[in-house]
Amino acid sequence: MSIEKCRIAIWIILVVLVSGLSLISPSDSREANPVLQFYCREARAACAEHSAVEQGLTYSFTATSYRNKIGGRGAISHVDSAVADFYFSGATLDSQRTAESTSNKLVALDFSYINVFDLNYRFNFYPNDTGGRLLAIGFDTDSTNDTRPVGLAIINRYDYSLDRLYLFYPHKAGYKRFSRILHFVQHEGYIFPDSILEVTAKAGIFSTEYNSLETIISDIKIYR
């Protein structure tokens, strides 16, 4: 993700964080729309089939992370950075090797994501669909007390693979607001995140503190 795209994404998430609004503007429910049912069913299968985690693959990648403070008018000031190699078997982290790091806060990173289509969400087509390659499907919960994230899943309209996830966590322990954007890339037929952006809001002593954590994933390797 380029710096400019990162700034735009942060601005979008900040609007959500400050307002407390959901990312979804529902236009159809899955229960009432057979076309939506079809896309959700195919996307669920595609997510499972092409997931390195669900398929139990052994793989590794390099993660470069930047933690920033976000000030007034979206001004971003760099705080910490780290570069590390991670080795996984499915969802299990086997080992990691840190090449450089300015803070141990960046050593434990979260690369996980949920197959939202495999969960009991209320799904919706996002309004103003352009009919292009990418299709946006919103997902929400039935209760305001539900701790699961809500948001948008962007899938490929033709092969149903996951392209992006926009996640807003209404109840995240220790945070006033917590949001994530994950971009995905295909590698040898499997889907991996290639960038993860988190924007958080925590109650400070005098005001709310906004921070972002951007992680770029590269050098993906699958061991067969």
Mean pLDDT of 101-123: 85
| CA distances (Å), origin 19, targets 163, 175, 176, 215 | 26, 15, 11, 25
pLDDT tens across 24-65, in order?
444 455 556 899 999 999 999 999 999 999 999 999 999 999
Helix, strand, or coil (residue 146): coil
Least confident residue range of 12-21, 137-146, 174-183: 12-21
Hey, what are 104's tokens?
């141990």
What would the DSSP string read from start to end of 35-61?
HHHHHHHHHHHHHHHTBTTTTT-EEEE
pLDDT reading at 83 higher than 80: yes
pLDDT tens across 143-154, in order?
888 888 999 999
Hey, what are 31's tokens?
């229960």
What is the chain's percent helix, strand, coil content, to nearest 5?
A: 20, 45, 35
Mean pLDDT of 79-106: 89
| CA distances (Å), origin 194, targets 64, 163, 178, 216 | 11, 10, 20, 6
- Tell me phi and psi for residue 10, to 5 degrees: -65, -40
Residue pointed to by tokens 């209760």: 143
> What is the structure's pLDDT at 107?
60
Cα separation, 166 vs 39, in Å, equals 18
**Could you give the angle at the alpha carbon of 201 between the alpha carbons of 199 and 203, nearest 5°?**
160
Give the chain's length.
224
Buried b (16+ CB within 10 A) or exposed e, 105-126: ebeebebebebbbeeebebbbb
Q: Are 215 and 63 in contact (CB under 8 A)?
A: yes
pLDDT reading at 116 higher than 90: yes
Cα separation, 168 vs 126, in Å, equals 16
